[in-house]
Chains A and B, each alone.
Chain A
Amino acid sequence: MTAWPAIVTLPVLLGLGGCGEADTPIAQRVVGGDGTAGRAVVMRVGCGACHEIPGILGAHGIVGPSLRHFARRSMIGGVVANQPGMLVRWVREAPALAPDTAMPSMPITENEARDVAAYLYTLR
C-alpha cells in the first residue's frame, strides 16, 4: 500500500478531529481498548443517529446528548460517574445502569465496547 490515498484523505481526517489516544489521561485509559477500532464500531452501529459526535460526519442526532467534549464530562447520562469501567458497561447495556434511559442495549461485544469507550475518551 502507498501513502497516496492517505494523503488524499488526510485533510479530511484532520478536519474530523483525531483519534489519537496519546493525550488521554491515565484515569481514562481503557484497558484493551483501541480508539480507532472504536470509531469504526461507532460508525457501524450508527450511534450518530441519536448523538452528535464531533469528528464523525453525519453524526448529528438530537435524541441523546451530544458527545462533544465527552472525555471532560463527569457523569454518563447524568446517572453514573464517567469512568472507564462504567463507560464500557454503559455503551453496551445502558438500561442495566439506568432503567429509565431511552438508550437501548447495543449489539456490540465486550471487546468492542472497550474500543468504543477508548474512542469516546478521545473526544476532549
Chain B
Amino acid sequence: MRRLLAGSAVLVLPGCEGIQSALAPKGADASLIAQVSWVVFIGAGLIFALVLGLTLYALLAPQARSSWTASHGFIIGGGIVFPVVTLTALLVYGLSLTGSVGRSTEVPAVRIEVTGEQFWWRVRYQEHGGKAAVDAANELHIPVGQPVELTLRSADVIHSFWVPNLAGKLDMIPGQQNVLSIKASAPGTYRGQCAEYCGIQHAQMAFYVVAHPPEAFERWLAERREPAAEPLADLVKRGRDLFVAVGCGACHTVRGIDASGKIGPDLTHVGSRRSIGAGMWPNNAGTLAAWIASSQHLKPGNKMPSFNVLSGTELRAVATYLESLK
C-alpha cells in the first residue's frame, strides 16, 4: 500500500516541476492562483468528506441515532446555512484577489504585443527608450522580477494566451485588445499554449517564454535588434541566395536581405529559437529542412506550403542558412 501511495505521488510529481504547469508557479499571478487553488482544494476535500460521511451515516447508522439527519433543520443547516456562510467567505476571498490578478500598477519594464494567428504567435517588442521595436515569433523573452505588459490581439479567430507557470489565461479576440501583466519570479524557460480552440492545428500552437535576469534580457534584446548575420560559409551563402530566389521573402521577413513578407513569422533570428512550427519540433537544420519540405505533412492546415522544388543540397543549404540566423 505504501509503495502504491508513493508510486502515485511519483506519478503526479514530475508534472509539478513541469514547464507548462499551474502547479509549479514561477510568476506573481501564478503563485497567487496556486495559493487560492490549495485553499479551495483542501476546503472542497473537507466538504466532500463531510457530505460523504453524512450520507454513509444516514445509510448505516441505526435510525434512532440518525433521526436528526432526517429533519428539515438538517436540510436548512446543511443545504442553506452552511453553503451561504462558506460561499460568502470564498467569494470575499476571491473578489479580494480578482482585482490584482493579471494587472499591475507598476510601470512595465517591457511592452510586448502578441498576436494570435492560425497557428502561431506573432511577437513584437515595442519601442522603448528610443530603441526600435523588434519583431519575432513563437517565443517571448522577458526580464525576471519586472512587470511585463502584454497587449494581446488576434489576426483571425479567437485564441487564448496562456503560460500556466506565469499567469492565468486571457483571450485574444478579433477587434479587441486585451492587456495582461505578467511578472516572472525565477529565470527559466516556460511553455505556453493556445487555450481557445482555434481550428485544425489548435493542438500545435505552443510557444516558449524565456525569463532572463534583467541585464541578460537587455543584452538579448539588443542582439535581436541587429539585422541577420552575414553568412560566411559557402553553403550558408547559397542557402541565403536560394531563400531569396525561391520566394520565401513573400511571406517572411529577414532583416538585412531582400525578404520582407509579413504573412508568416519574422525569421531574422530564427536560428536562436527553441522550436519551429510553434512549439512542434526542436530547432535544428534537420527539422528546419523537414519543415520546409513537408510543412503540410507535419502540420496540415497551416498556411505554409510544402516546398518540394529544392534538390537535396539546396534544401540543406536553406535549412543551414536559417539555422545560422542566431
Contact = CB atoms under 8 A, between A and B. Distances in A.
Interface residues of B, number: 28
B323 to A, nearest CB: 8
B54 to A, nearest CB: 33
Size class of the contact patch on chain A: 20 to 34
Nearest to B282: A46
Contacts of B294: 50, 61-63
Given A61-B294, A62-B294, A49 B286 contact: yes
Contacts of B91: none
Interface string B288-326: 011101100110000000000001110110011001000
Contacts of A101: 312-313, 316
Task: Give the residue among A50, A61, A102 with the most B Cβ atoms within 10 A.
Answer: A102
Given A101-B312, A102-B312, A50 B6 contact: no
A121 B184 CA distance: 45
A105 B313 CA distance: 12
A67 to B, nearest CB: 14
A49 B312 contact: no
A103 B316 CA distance: 6
A47 interface: yes
Interface string B139-171: 000000000000000000000000000000000
Contacts of A107: 284-285
Contact of B290 (A2, A5, A49, A95): A49
Interface string A98-112: 011111111100000
A107 to B, nearest CB: 5
A105 B286 CA distance: 8
Contacts of B286: 45-47, 49-50, 103-104, 106
Interface of A: 1-5, 8, 44-47, 49-50, 61-63, 95, 99-107
14 contacts: A5-B7, A5-B11, A44-B282, A61-B297, A63-B289, A63-B294, A99-B313, A101-B316, A103-B289, A103-B312, A104-B289, A106-B284, A106-B285, A107-B285
Question: Lowest 10 CB-CB distances: which A-B pairs, in order?
Answer: A4-B7, A49-B290, A102-B312, A104-B285, A2-B7, A50-B290, A49-B287, A46-B287, A102-B315, A46-B282
